[in-house]
Structure 1
Amino acid sequence: MDGSEIFAKTPAGSEEMRSRDRRLPQRLRTLLIMVDGTRTAAQLQAAAATIGAPDDAVQMLVDLGLIAAMAATRAAAPAVPAAAAAAALPTVDEGERFRVTQKFMNDTAVDLLGFRAFLFTLKLEKCYTRADLLALMPDFNKALAKASGAEVARVLELRARELLG
């Protein structure tokens, strides 16, 4: 597996997030949550190691058909100066970052905490700004740490902060 490939959930992976039919081990499921179409295989493998998932966790998710390398990442990129490449990238507005981060935090909390996430999700629904989400990060970390341990909570909080920008 090429460490620079970017992975995204397949339709089966998205369905697994909703249904939990396959009863994935918790650490493998946590890694599946982290696959969002922006992380490379190397980043996912590093995250897997941090949360204590098996060394071949990314490959396991591929083999199960839950994630796949995005086709665009396999094409050879033309050689362009870094400044030109950066200028060509679309910018993500702050509102979109907020929505993506809020959804990630909600999905993660519900997935790891189940019904116990109810109070946290109520707090999350009252967030209307980036500052509101940042202020809620300690509660997010504390709730996840109770359910999955401090290392998993740290990695997921870091991911939420990355998404928020």
Structure 2
Amino acid sequence: MKTSIYDKTTKGREEIATRKYQLASRLRTLLVLVDGHRSEEELLRNVAGLGLNHSALQELLAQDYIVLATSYASLPEPDPLPLPLPLPPPSTIALDQVQQFQSVYNFYNKTIKSTMGLRGFTLQLKVEKAGSVDELRLLRAPYLEGVTKAKGRDTAALLVQQLDQLLAG
């Protein structure tokens, strides 16, 4: 299969900048897309909705708005690889732990930012470093202290209650 890449000529760039040659709007759209990097197939795929095809490119080429920058033969598409054997289903315990970690992690990130702002930056870094639910569980006390200082006991109590539910699994 042959791949062609077109680039704008000086006349093409001038038309884009000034509309000097009064090129039809559909052809002008195609001309704008020509950049010396996209293949002919990609260009035509992008303007297919406008009803433009290979003849539109040939028209721009004939009117000296574009020039063939590169043309080369593409390698044929390789045969598809055989499908891999299906993997055994992941254990639900491991999946539950991942979901719990993600839930606690997201809770910490959302609430530290919204309640403590920049004062929670170091705690946020500790959350980022945590690699397990147990490590996130160790951050409960500094989290409670930070939220209490920033928003008061009532807000801290509500948030810690939600956190405890997530940590319980």
Q: Over alpha carbons, which structure has the higher Rg?
A: 2
Q: TM-score, normalised by structure 1?
A: 0.43
Q: Larger strand proportion, structure 1 or 2?
A: 2
